[in-house]
Amino acid sequence: MVQQLTYIPPQAAGEPLFFRFEQANAQTEYLPHSHVWGQAIFVKCNVLEMQVDGERLLTPANIPIWIPPGTLHASYNHKQAHFRTLNIAAERCYGFPTYACLLRVCPVVQAIMDDVAARQLEVPHTAEDQRLCEVLLDRLRQAEIEASYLPSCQDRQLAPILQALERNPADNTTLAQWAARVYTTERTLSRRCQALLGLSFSEWRQRLRFLHAVSLLEQNLSVQEVALALGYSSASALIVMFQQQSGTTPERYRARM
């Protein structure tokens, strides 16, 4: 049964900049809410799923979601999750996107977030911490913007294919075979993927499998078991995909969880 939670603003909510670190149990949902401040939301492990202004946003660990001030959003946790949020007063959100999106941040951002989390820093009071946070803000403003890690669409030909793959990520049906099932050509379907998703079919499926791989690694399955569960013929094929998506191997990724 899903436990519904109401967001309670922290005492530091009046500060120009503050951090929050919290843990959410599996099968919990934060009900729709908004803030007068902006938020960069990081999840330490697993996958973060949010509804933002009626649209679904999914992101793996270490790719934060940016929520502008006043934006209605809710989140759902299939698994236990550890959140790190950087909260920014509206007047300091200049240079940030005016819409919800993902931020492809650099290692400097991750290192600073690891540091403040290790120290459980809530508000940067010292001159040193304030300078550190200025670097953090600058790097976040420079981050590459991505609308969604795993985009969806309502296209009559493409949507049923994406939904079928989400139900069964191990399905190895080729794009040509899918095209035949929905009475179109492989070339046409490929163009629709690029136009409507901003990704090729193979990249979209790889991202889907990566998200599921993260969840399976959390369950302590071996790399070989994860590979077979996701339709790969070998562990090495999974490792190649994992490195392309995360820059590291499944075992190293698991060690950081």
Name the CATH topology of 158-256: Arc Repressor Mutant, subunit A (1.10.10)
Distance CA 14, CA 203 (A): 42
19 or 50, greater pLDDT: 19
Least confident of 38-52, 97-111, 194-208: 38-52
CA dihedral for 245, 247, 249, 252, sign (positive or negative):
negative
Mean pLDDT on 243-249 = 88
Question: Is a pLDDT exceeding 90 seen at residue 56?
Answer: no
Instruction: Please report, for residues 109, 154, 158, 208, 251, the alpha-carbon distance to residue 200 in angstroms, rounded to integers and kept in the order given.
Output: 29, 17, 12, 12, 27
Q: How far apart (Å, rounded) are the C-alpha atoms in residues 237 and 241?
A: 6
Q: Is the pLDDT of residue 45 over 90?
A: no
List where CATH 2.60.120.10 sits in the chain.
3-146
Question: Would you state the pLDDT for residue 208?
Answer: 95
What are the start and end residues of each CATH 1.10.10.60 domain in the chain?
A: 158-256
The secondary structure of residue 231, as a DSSP letter, is T
Query: What number is the average pLDDT over the span 101-130?
Result: 96
Examine the pLDDT at 252 and tell me if it is beyond 70: yes
**Cα–Cα distance, 239 to 167 (Å, whole number):** 22
CA angle 92, 93, 99 (to 5 degrees): 170
Residue range 169-184, pLDDT digits in tens: 999 999 999 999 999 9
Domain with residues 3-146, CATH architecture:
Sandwich (2.60)
Kindly tell me if the per-residue pLDDT of 99 is higher than 90. Answer: yes
Q: What is the pLDDT of residue 80?
A: 74
Is the Cβ–Cβ distance between 37 and 69 less than 8 Å?
A: yes
Average pLDDT, the chain: 91
Q: Reading across the β-sheet that carries 28-33, which strands appear in turn?
A: 3-5, 28-33, 73-77, 47-52, 55-60
Higher pLDDT, 49 or 233: 233
Tell me the per-residue pLDDT of 174-232, one tens digit each, with 9 for 90 and over: 999 999 999 999 999 999 999 999 999 999 999 999 999 988 988 889 999 999 999 99
- Report the pLDDT averaged over residues 64-93: 90
Residue, of 114 and 48, whose pLDDT is higher: 114
Q: 29 pLDDT exceeds 90?
A: no
Q: Is it the case that residue 257 has pLDDT exceeding 70?
A: no
Average pLDDT rounded to a whole number, residues 123-144: 97
